[in-house]
Each structure stands twice: as structure tokens, then as C-alpha cells.
């Protein structure tokens, strides 16, 4: 079986311990997925990702389409082979980047005309085009093409956009099904014939729209569902409320993925909304700016107070960086603008997110997620180590 999801346990908070089977291995859920925008998780070798225990990572359709090009990746055997990554890959639809990075030229029910942020060249993404690209990339999980709206967006705007996103989701599903039924060979069609397609629940911060949209997507019968349009500037409590409303409507036997979240201390909250998968650029992006996540809160490693500090970054962390290097050394590397600063900072931050998710899974298994969450969040709130 190429794709299979099993809920092993659900606790009293609604948190789920699960196991997602993909054509490229098993993913223990709840899972944190590092972001590998252009076919690399910035600052980490694939060897390091393996050592960190990464089971699934993200690729960005928009970026890979523009450079090096999806047809090139298809010809080279798909994204797994191109980047030499044996684990699972989820690709986004390109929607989020088209609406946030590119210069928009025209949005219609058909799709989006935009200019590349790299060279200004004009391109068109339609639901069908997004699936075609993702099939060329050969990810294990593809996402439907969705419209991503700004925050805040009023009810009328959100309702119109959600309607469009439902229609686009249907077109994505139908295109993917038609391709599967076309009898074309795998190489022509997709680098990964076992690819699954997830729907995305939108609806802005409007509870009724979220509910309605979730039901519409359930009617379209996807093997998994994401909740999109969160972490766009809204308060964290509202974000969780929207996630919880959406998951209430989603079938219990399908994986749920909240896109683009979150801070480490927020991860348990989403899990308690019944979320199984999350991704976020924060660990790698912040790492490159010297912002490090620790069990006692965020550390700005640029700070002068670390110049002579022989201690590991996080004494509770057992990652390669914390086992090997001092705060003084990490600070020096950052100030000397050394590549190793980005490497080690990224390594630690990704390790910290993965470790947090591992502890969450363990807490669910032991039935102590509430206790874990409050202790974990209190320690982070207490401030710098």
C-alpha cells in the first residue's frame, strides 16, 4: 500500500499518535516537517537530516518550478533522486509563494498569472498546472492549489476566496485522477506513481466558513487534509481555534496538516487540536540570523554575554551541536560570518523542533500531554537559559 494512515491512540485532549505510511517510508505523527525550499533544507546535508531522524520534508513547487525547473527534475528521476533524499517529501502547491513572493498580474477563476521574483518572467499557475508540476517532482504528498488571502480579510472576501479554492481543489483532484487513469507511463506522468493529494481548508478567521469549507473538501474525498491560511499574523489563540474548528469536521481516519506553524511552544497546542503534521521555516530561517530555540526560550547568539560562555547552547539538548560546541564558539562563528555558524545553528534548531515533536509523541503515548505541555511552555516562558 502506497499511502496509509493509522491512528494509534487518541488522548482526552484530542491529540493523536499516528503512523503515516508513504512510498518513501513511515512517518511517526505528530510530525514536524523541515522546509527544503529549493531542494535542500538550508544549511543541512541530507546525511545530517538522516542523522537527525527526519522522516519527511517539504519541497516548494513555486521555487523548484522556477529553478531548476520541474521538467529538468522529472528527467533526472524526480525530486527524491535529484536531491538524494530517501525519505518522504511533501510539496506545497505553489499557491502561498505565488501570493506572497511573486508579483501578481491577474487572478481569475482559471488561475494566476504572475511574474517570477527571480527574473520578472511571466508564468501561469492553474490548479492543473500545479498538479502537473508536483507530479513531475514526484513528491509523496501533493497539495491542492489554493488561494491564500491576506489577514485580516472580511467575510465577503473570505467567502468568495473559499468558494474559488473549493473549485480549484475539485479541479486538482479531477486532473490527478484523469492522469492516473490515462494509462501514460510513470515517467511521462509522474516521478512517483504513489503520490497522494491533500485538500486545504481555508476560510480566513471566520468559523462558519472554516466549517463549511472543511465539509466541502470532505465531500471531495481527499486522503488527507491541510488547514491553510493560519500563522498569517493572527493571535495564536485564534489560530488554534480555527485549526480546532476545521479538524472537528475532518474524518478521523485521515491525517491533518496545519501549514506553516509554529513556534516550539505552540506545537503542543496544535497537536491538542488534533493536528498530525506541521511545517515551518522558523528553525532554519531564524538560525541564519543567530536566533536559536532552546528549552529555556530563544537565545540570540550574537549577544556579547555569550562571548566567554563555555556552556553548551542548551544543556537539556543532546543534539550534535550541544554535545560538541560552546556558546562562545557559536557566537564567534556568527560574528566572523562563518558558514559553520549557519550549519550549526540550523542543525540545532531543526534538532530542537524534531526533539520537541518526539517528546510530544511520547507524552501522548504515556497519556501526559497536558502535563508535558504546561511544563515545556512554562520553561520557555521563563526566559533565556
Decide if residue 53 touches its own copies (CB under 8 A): no
Is 62 an interacting residue with respect to its own copies (CB under 8 A)? no
Kindly tell me which residue out of 246, 343, 350, 354 binds its own copies, with binding defined by CB under 8 A.
343
Instruction: Sort residue 35 into left (φ over 0), alpha (ψ -120 to 50) or beta.
Output: beta
Grid cell, residue 382, equals 521563563
329 binds its own copies (CB under 8 A): yes
Nearest to 278 by CA among 32, 63, 80, 87: 32
Among 82, 125, 257, 353, the residue binding its own copies under the rule CB under 8 A is: 82
Count of residues that bind its own copies according to CB under 8 A: 39
11 has catalytic annotation: no
List CB contacts of 181: < 8 A, sequence separation 6 or more: none
Q: Whose Cβ is closer to its own copies: residue 82's or residue 96's?
A: 82
Question: Which residues 240-269 are close enough to bind its own copies by CB under 8 A?
Answer: none
* Cis, bond preceding 152 (omega within 30 deg of 0): yes
Helix axis angle, 207-220 relative to 155-181, nearest 10°?
10
338 binds its own copies (CB under 8 A): yes
Rounded CA separation 303/113 (Å): 44
If one asks whether residue 303 binds its own copies (CB under 8 A), the answer comes out as no
Question: Which CB atom, from 80 or from 206, has the smaller least distance to its own copies?
Answer: 80
Stretch of 10-18, 129-137, 259-267, 324-332 lying at the interface with its own copies (CB under 8 A): 324-332
- Considering only the stretches 122-130, 134-142, 322-330, 356-364, report the one whose residues sit in contact with its own copies under the rule CB under 8 A: 322-330
- Give the separation between CA 117 and CA 105, rounded to whole angstroms: 12
> Least CB distance from residue 33 to its own copies, whole Å?
18
Residue 109 or residue 308: which is nearer to its own copies going by CB? Answer: 308
Shortest approach of its own copies to residue 132 CB, angstroms? 19
Question: Applying CB under 8 A, which part among 54-62, 183-191, 291-299, 323-331 lies near its own copies?
Answer: 323-331
Q: What distance in Å separates the CA atoms of residue 318 and residue 359, rounded to the nearest whole number?
A: 13
Concerning whether 110 is annotated as a catalytic residue, the answer is: no
Q: First vs last Cα of the chain: how many Å apart?
A: 46
Is residue 84 involved in binding its own copies (CB under 8 A)? yes
Of 35-43, 133-141, 179-187, 199-207, which segment contacts its own copies by CB under 8 A?
35-43
Handedness of CA 143, 149, 154, 159 (dihedral sign): negative
Q: Classify residue 117 by burial, with Cβ atoms within 10 Å: 0-12, 13-18, 19+.
A: middle
Please tell me which residue in 269, 279, 314, 355 is annotated as part of the active site: 279
Q: Is 38 in the site for its own copies (CB under 8 A)?
A: yes
Between 3 and 325, whose beta carbon lies closer to its own copies?
A: 325
Nearer to its own copies, 190 or 342 (CB): 342
Beta strand extents in 272-318 (DSSP E only) = 277-280, 291-294, 297-300
Q: Pick from 9, 25, 76, 366 the residue near its own copies by CB under 8 A.
A: 76
Query: Exposure of 206 by Cβ count < 10 A (0-12 exposed, 13-18 middle, 19+ buried)?
Result: buried
Query: Pairing relation of β-strands 112-115 and 122-125?
Result: antiparallel
Binding segment for its own copies among 7-15, 40-48, 94-102, 183-191 (CB under 8 A)? 40-48
Q: Rounded to whole angstroms, what are the CA distances from 286 to 137, 258, 348?
A: 27, 20, 11
**Cα distance between residue 120 and residue 362, in whole Å:** 48
CA distance 315 to 93: 39
The residue from 103, 308, 315, 384 that contacts its own copies (CB under 8 A) is 308
- Which residues of the chain form contacts with its own copies (CB under 8 A)? 38-40, 42-47, 67-68, 72, 75-77, 82-84, 307-308, 310, 320, 324-326, 328-329, 331-333, 335-336, 338-340, 342-344, 346
Active site residues: 92, 279
Amino acid at each position: 500500500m502506497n499511502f496509509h494512515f493509522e491512528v494509534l491512540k487518541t488522548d482526552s485532549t484530542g491529540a493523536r499518535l499516528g503512523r503515516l505510511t508513504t512510498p518513501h517510508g513511515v512517518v511517526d505523527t505528530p510530525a514536524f516537517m523541515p522546509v527544503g525550499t529549493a531542494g535542500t533544507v538550508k544549511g543541512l546535508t541530507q546525511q545530517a537530516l538522516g542523522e537527525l531522524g527526519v522522516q519527511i520534508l517539504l519541497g516548494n513547487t513555486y521555487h523548484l518550478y522556477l529553478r531548476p525547473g520541474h521538467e529538468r527534475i522529472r528527467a533526472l528521476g524526480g525530486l527524491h533522486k535529484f536531491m538524494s533524499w530517501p525519505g518522504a517529501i511533501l510539496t506545497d502547491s505553489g499557491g502561498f509563494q505565488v501570493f506572497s513572493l511573486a508579483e501578481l498580474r491577474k487572478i481569475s477563476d482559471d488561475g494566476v498569472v504572475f511574474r517570477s521574483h527571480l527574473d520578472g518572467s511571466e508564468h501561469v499557475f492553474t490548479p492543473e498546472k500545479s498538479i502537473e508540476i508536483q507530479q513531475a517532482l514526484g513528491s509523496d504528498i501533493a497539495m491542492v492549489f489554493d488561494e491564500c488571502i491576506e489577514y485580516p480579510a472580511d467575510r465577503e472576501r473570505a467567502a468568495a476566496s473559499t468558494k474559488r479554492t473549493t473549485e480549484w481543489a475539485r479541479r486538482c483532484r479531477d486532473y490527478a485522477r484523469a492522469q492516473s487513469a490515462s494509462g501514460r507511463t510513470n515517467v511521462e506522468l509522474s516521478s512517483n506513481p504513489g503520490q497522494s493529494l491533500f485538500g486545504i481548508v481555508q476560510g480566513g478567521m471566520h468559523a462558519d466558513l472554516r466549517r463549511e469549507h472543511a465539509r466541502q473538501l470532505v465531500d471531495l474525498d481527499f486522503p488527507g487534509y491541510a488547514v491553510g491560511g493560519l500563522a498569517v499574523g493572527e493571535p495564536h489563540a485564534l489560530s488554534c481555534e480555527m485549526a480546532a474548528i476545521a479538524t472537528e469536521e475532518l474524518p478521523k481516519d485521515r491525517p491533518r496538516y496545519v501549514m506553516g506553524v509554529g513556534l516550539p511552544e505552540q506545537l503542543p497546542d496544535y497537536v491538542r487540536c488534533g493536528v498530525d503534521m506541521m511545517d515551518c521555516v522558523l528553525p532554519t530561517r531564524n538560525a541564519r540570523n543567530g536566533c536559536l530555540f532552546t528549552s529555556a526560550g530563544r537565545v540570540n547568539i550574537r549577544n556579547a554575554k555569550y562571548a566567554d560562555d563555555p556552556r553548551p547552547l542548551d544543556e537539556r539538548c543532546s543534539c550534535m551541536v550541544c554535545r560538541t560546541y560552546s556558546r562562545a564558539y557559536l557566537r564567534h562563528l556568527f560574528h566572523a560570518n562563518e558558514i559553520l555558524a549557519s550549519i550549526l545553528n540550523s542543525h540545532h534548531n531543526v534538532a530542537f523542533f524534531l526533539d520537541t515533536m518526539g517528546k510530544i509523541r511520547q507524552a501522548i503515548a504515556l497519556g501526559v500531554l497536558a502535563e508535558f505541555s504546561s511544563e515545556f511552555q512554562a520553561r520557555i516562558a521563563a526566559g533565556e537559559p
